[in-house]
Amino acid sequence: MTRAFDQLWAGTFRHAAKHSPFYREQFRGLKRVPPLTSLRTVDKRVLSERNLDFLCVPRAKVVEIVTTSGTTGQPLLWRLTEADVQRLAANEKISFSCAGLTAHDTVLVAVAMDRCFMAGLAYWLGLRELGCAVVRTGASSPMLVLEMIERLQPTAIVAVPSFLRVIAEKAREQKSNLKKCSVQKTVCIGEPIRDPAFQLNASGRAIAAAWGAQVYATYGVTELANSLCECDAGVGGHLHDKQLHLEILDDDDQPVADGEVGEIVATTFGVEAMPLIRYRTGDCAALFHAACPCGRKTPRLGPILGRKNQKLKFKGTSVFPSTLAAVLEQTDGVESFVIVARQENELSDSIEVLVHGAASVPTLREALQAQARIAPKIRLVSPAKIESLQLPPNARKRRTFVDLR
């Protein structure tokens, strides 16, 4: 570790040990700053059960309260001070700079600013800090997005990949050619657009083809108030190491080799309200330390392969739902799908793939066997059945994986 890291880590440790009830309890008896890796990890369950015990400031210093998406459970409440909001803006400024955005760009933000989400707020702050002109359409109306593209000629758009595809479909219905529009860059959030080899997956290829624009992947976690964005090289999101430290751990909590996949464990630097130390994100990816072709020397985070607790065991093979989804997305005739997992026994899960479309069951089975190395049960169902599973009542995000284990 470098001297700069030691100073940043010492600052985080002392602040948390002094002001957070949770960390004060965890660090009782420690007289000196310990090695970071000697401390136990913290997961979302603890964060949920003892949410306010992580708070390091009085209520009067809190200026923003946001929530997580709630993809894996009840949304967490997260609090920020004015200094934390400024840190968030600085982070997003760096991230958008990685994608080559400057004050000369007009950026359409098709991400929710409401419902207590951090993402829309973060992108707006960062783009303003960068000097961009910002168009806040949100994600509710593809027609509004198309209208603003025509009227304001934005050079970039920030959105969830599935919404970018919805916009493209609406443009086709309107006989509008997005390839001829002003948008030159699409910054994709919340869903993967690359495979482990850094190639665009089916969703990424569809966006690039429909929009005729450069596609950038990002990774962000609300609790970390941080995101990592690709540069033009497209070989991982650049880490802002003055704000965040990442470890990649295996199932035994041991660090993996550079470029190997494991769980992302994060420690925040410079957070005032709710700092986190060795926080298990639950996401699985690889970290790369070699210098990027763009010239930056900061570590790069590879594509997210899935959630650790979603990893499936099927007849001796481990597979992420995202691997199955990637195969289905690029198989002709598949219009929509849901992967359903149940526990068969302690050593194996039962996997059923529900599909709507013209593809045949033998074709789907052959594709999954060839590319994912498993042959799960496959059933063709109605679009209404898929919709009910993808978007159940009170859901905040559409899903393609249903875990009933």
DSSP-assigned beta bridge partners for residue 319: 312
| Closest alpha carbon to 351 in 388, 314, 326, 317 | 314
Same-domain check for residues 294 and 354? no
Containing structural domain, residue 361: 311-403
Same-domain check for residues 288 and 359? no
Per-residue pLDDT of the chain (405 residues; tens, 9 = 90+): 789 999 999 999 999 999 999 999 999 999 899 999 999 999 999 999 999 999 999 999 999 999 986 655 568 899 999 999 999 999 999 999 999 999 999 999 999 888 888 999 999 999 999 999 999 999 989 999 999 999 999 999 999 998 999 999 999 999 999 999 999 999 999 888 999 899 998 889 999 999 999 999 999 999 999 999 999 999 999 999 999 999 999 989 999 999 999 999 999 999 999 999 999 999 999 999 999 999 999 999 999 998 898 889 898 888 999 889 989 988 999 999 999 999 888 888 999 999 999 999 999 999 999 989 999 999 999 999 999 999 888 776 788 999 998
Report the C-alpha gap between 11 and 33 in whole angstroms: 9
Last residue of a domain, one of 283, 306, 329: 306
pLDDT score recorded for residue 72: 53
Report the C-alpha gap between 386 and 344 in whole angstroms: 23
pLDDT score recorded for residue 393: 84
Same-domain check for residues 336 and 381? yes
| Closest alpha carbon to 261 in 229, 218, 304 | 304
**Edge-to-edge strands of the sheet including 334-345?**
377-380, 348-357, 334-345, 401-403
CATH number of the structural domain spanning residue 127: 3.40.50.12780
CATH number of the structural domain spanning residue 394: 3.30.300.30
Cα angle 159, 164, 168; round to 5? 155
Last residue of a domain, one of 306, 340, 361: 306
Last residue of a domain, one of 306, 329, 363: 306
Same-domain check for residues 264 and 395? no
**CB contact at 8 A, 234 and 195:** no
Report the C-alpha gap between 394 and 41 in whole angstroms: 31
Domain count, the chain: 2
Same-domain check for residues 182 and 83? yes
Same-domain check for residues 284 and 336? no
Same-domain check for residues 398 and 274? no
pLDDT score recorded for residue 115: 80
Same-domain check for residues 237 and 385? no
| Closest alpha carbon to 30 in 13, 7, 48, 46 | 13
Same-domain check for residues 165 and 278? yes
